[in-house]
Amino acid sequence: MQLSLKLSSPDNIKRFVDRFREKYVSVDLVRIGGDSDGGYLLPDNLKGVNYCFSAGVSHTSDFEGQLSKDYGIKSFMADASVTAPAYNDDNFHFRANFIGSSPENGFITLSDWIEDCIGDDASEKVLQMDIEGGEYDVLAYESAENFAAFSTLIIEFHMVQTIAEHNFLQMVSAIFEKLYLNFSIAHVHPNNTVPVQKVAGVLVPRIMEVTFIRNDLVDRFRNHNDITLPHPLDRKNETKRPDIVMPEIWWAKAAAENAS
């Protein structure tokens, strides 16, 4: 017998996208990392940051390398799919673990990882997480307070088109609302390795990189410019594939007014 999935209502999908757009703020950004996959846009507040926690290292370390070279930031890196970072740096501290929601089978939780690395050190830190779909377990498991210890979050969200399914949308909405307690959205960039998909009339990037800035920092870095995407510092993840522009319904107030 084939089981049918319960679909999300168009109203609930629209509500999720509306909240994303409402939480989007215009702040000064810098690009850290290479000119393709592995480079990200962050708020320009890195001079006060001591640590980066980088979950999902893969085969490039340009992001962590630039943090070390330009800002002296120490990066704690975790990924069991590789045996070491792409190159050595005195500020790199690597462990061959996946980050998840339980400390077993080669996994460690984000909160345990932080405790192991820096204890109760309250210095400013950033989180970069690209763990191929595992982000949902981590984001659902960890508390809002644990995330609020970071000044900036850079999270790659996978399978976003699955908001078409009721249970997935409920989970993702709860995760974003948890983050919104302490963060606003500073930037979003669709990954061009896969095309956008229309879900209940809404164009949805299947993979998107979202940068969050902690709310207490917004006024310090707000620039009052109109949000426009792509940002001048954006680059394609895959240089040989066509670029994807983030659909305006996710970020442009005028687009939202026209859709209503």
pLDDT surpasses 80 at 259: no
> Average pLDDT, whole number, for the chain?
94
Q: Which of 71-75, 123-127, 236-240 has the lowest mean pLDDT?
A: 236-240
Q: In this predicted model, what pLDDT tens digit does every residue of 139-155 receive, in sequence order?
A: 999 999 999 999 999 99
Check residue 3 and give its pLDDT.
Answer: 54
Helix 10-22 crosses helix 166-180 at what angle (to 10 degrees)? 20
pLDDT interval class at 260 (50, 70, 90): low
How confident is the model over 230-259, as a mean pLDDT? 86
Contact 235, 39 (CB under 8 A): yes
Check residue 38 and give its pLDDT.
Answer: 79
CATH topology (fold) of 10-259: Rossmann fold (3.40.50)
CA–CA distance, 95 with 154 (Å, rounded to integer) = 20
- Domain parsing of the chain, residue ranges: 10-259
CA–CA distance, 52 with 74 (Å, rounded to integer) = 6
Check residue 255 and give its pLDDT.
Answer: 55
pLDDT surpasses 70 at 118: yes
pLDDT surpasses 60 at 256: no
